[in-house]
Structure 1
Amino acid sequence: MWRKAIATAAARRFGAALHHPWRTIARPHSTTASPSTAVDSIILRSLKEHYIDAQKMNPPPKINPPSPFTVVQGSLDGNGPALKRTYGREEITISVMRIANIIPGDGEGGEDDDADDTNQLCLHLDVSKPGQKESLHFLCALYPDALGIHSVSLRRNADFSSSLHVASTYNGPVFEDLDETTRDAFHNYVEERGVSESLFPFLRAWLYVKDHRNLMQWFKSVGIFISENKKAKDY
């Protein structure tokens, strides 16, 4: 259900600004097309149909992130953090993806698996301080009603990073091996910084829009590539 929704997700807000590669498709020649040209035409026609279908869908309701988090400018078009905030002298950044994109299921659950995909998010939380070479990194699982910590580690900040350091970085003990008091303290630590299940509605909607933009861009880019290839063959 989720994957189907992404394929036909909301585009009215964003679709108007996208360039239509389909206008560059050359009209068929009167001569019989070669097998390769015929395949190109089939691909272009299919991409165009999917592109148009996706454009017709309504966008999801707009959801604002819980205060004081703000959306990172340009995050929908990049691979960086989605949210940021300050907490005292600290800078808090949050990146998100679906757990299903990291640990794919076996696909035997049908639509129920698709529904579960929308309720399981992977959260990367970074806490950095001015002048510090490392930041505190939390890998978390986020659900509509809970947030669970998977690991806690110190990571080299981008300004100080090196391939050697990344390769030799120790990621800390298995979180579940820590005693209950320490685990509870870490949970309180992230909650004090506003990281909890309250972020789930916004981050799920944000991922939905981002996936749709990526899908539309894929239709566009592949269409342009095939179209240019097809025009080159016609000369």
Structure 2
Amino acid sequence: MARLIPTAQRRILSSSSSLIHRLPPQSHHCCPSIQSQNATSTPLFHCRPYSTHEFTKSPVQNYILRILRNEIEYQAEYAPPHQPETKFNSFTVQDRPGEQWMTMSGISGDNEDIKIEVTMFDGFVTVPRVGEDASGHDVCLHISVLVDIYKGDDGSNALEFVCSAWPNSLEIQKVYILSQDKKQARPYMGPNFRSMDGKLQKMLREFLEARGVNNELSRFLHEYMMNKDRIELVRWLGIVKSFVEK
């Protein structure tokens, strides 16, 4: 799978920072909400005995540390992340701590290996609010998904689908032949999916759906990434706090 990661990162430019924390809370209305399940409460930091070392820090350092501790406590109380899922239907889910990606893998009944690379939230669109008294717009978050399907034992070529995962739907954007032939400097990348014949579009969607890559997967990914986004934020806050404390 490692050989696919550079390819995925060349084709999809994910956000360098967590998108969800830059949006107002009301903007998440159209996305599935995350509730902590089976979350265990553990102390995020411990009281330390009095030390004169604390007085060697500058006022700025102490101020930063106070803000970081408050933010960590707030995140833990507001919506503590739960342990990431490791299975979804027939797929094995592998988190990549500290990265903006997660990986899924599975095997279909046709002797196919399926590898899926998924970004954290990397975009959004605004949509009108619904309802009689609704006004204004909501934000729907976007996730980029790469699906590689290998046939047979040689694994020489793969059919790669570049998809967009929205809160309740999965859309195909592009279909490639992913060749392991290193001699091809500029391989043909295929037509835009929406420019294909309608019947071919329908068959390719059904091809993915038969392998479990469907709207249900899209909903799972949004729930998973909501949780991962919070995990990565708390991890980042802890790393920064440890650095400032040194």
Question: TM-score, normalised to structure 1's length?
Answer: 0.69
Name 1:52's counterpart in structure 2. 73
Q: Distance in 1 between matches of 2:82 and 2:231?
A: 16
Name 1:193's counterpart in structure 2. 211
Report how many residues are paired.
205
Deviation at 1:86?
Answer: 0.7
**Aligned residues: CA RMSD:** 3.9
Offset from partner CA, 1:24-77 (integer Å, 9 cap, x none): 994225xxx7xxx222222111111101111123447897865222323x4455
Deviation at 1:195?
Answer: 0.9
Contact kept, 8 Å, 2:169 with 2:219, in 1: the verdict is: no
- The structure richer in helix per residue is 1
Does residue 173 in structure 1 map to residue 191 in structure 2?
Answer: yes
Does the residue aligned with 2:140 lie in a helix, a strand or coil? helix
- The structure richer in strand per residue is 2
Q: Distance in 2 between matches of 1:156 and 1:65?
A: 29
Does residue 116 in structure 1 map to residue 140 in structure 2?
Answer: yes
Deviation at 1:182?
Answer: 1.6
Contact kept, 8 Å, 1:65 with 1:202, in 2: the verdict is: no
Q: Which has the higher contact order (CA 8 A, sep 6+)?
A: 1
Name 2:160's counterpart in structure 1. 137
* Deviating 4+ runs (over 6 angstroms): 60-64
Contact kept, 8 Å, 1:122 with 1:141, in 2: the verdict is: yes
Q: Distance in 2 between matches of 1:61 and 1:2?
A: 17
Does the residue aligned with 1:116 lie in a helix, a strand or coil? strand
Seen in structure 2, the aligned counterparts of structure 1 residues 105 and 171 have a Cα distance that, compared at 3 Å, is: same
Seen in structure 2, the aligned counterparts of structure 1 residues 61 and 78 have a Cα distance that, compared at 3 Å, is: closer
5+ unaligned residues in a row in structure 2: which ranges?
Answer: 1-18, 29-34, 127-135
Name 2:42's counterpart in structure 1. 16
Deviation at 1:141?
Answer: 1.6
Q: Distance in 2 between matches of 1:42 and 1:156?
A: 53
Seen in structure 2, the aligned counterparts of structure 1 residues 135 and 200 have a Cα distance that, compared at 3 Å, is: same
Offset from partner CA, 1:95-140 (integer Å, 9 cap, x none): 22356x2x4679xxxx945x412xx332211112331223211111
Q: Distance in 2 between matches of 1:226 and 1:61?
A: 27
Seen in structure 2, the aligned counterparts of structure 1 residues 225 and 145 have a Cα distance that, compared at 3 Å, is: closer
Q: Distance in 1 between matches of 2:195 and 2:48?
A: 59
Q: How does 1:19-30 map to 2 (within 5 A)?
A: 20=45, 26-28=53-55
Contact kept, 8 Å, 1:11 with 1:56, in 2: the verdict is: no
Does the residue aligned with 1:226 lie in a helix, a strand or coil? helix
Q: Distance in 2 between matches of 1:128 and 1:22?
A: 53
5+ unaligned residues in a row in structure 1: which ranges?
Answer: 229-235
Name 1:233's counterpart in structure 2. none
Deviation at 1:185?
Answer: 1.6
Does the residue aligned with 2:54 lie in a helix, a strand or coil? coil
The percentage of counterpart residues that share the same residue type is 22
Q: Distance in 2 between matches of 1:105 and 1:38?
A: 42
Deviation at 1:186?
Answer: 1.0
- Report the residue type matching 1:187 in the other structure: R
Does residue 208 in structure 1 map to residue 218 in structure 2?
Answer: no
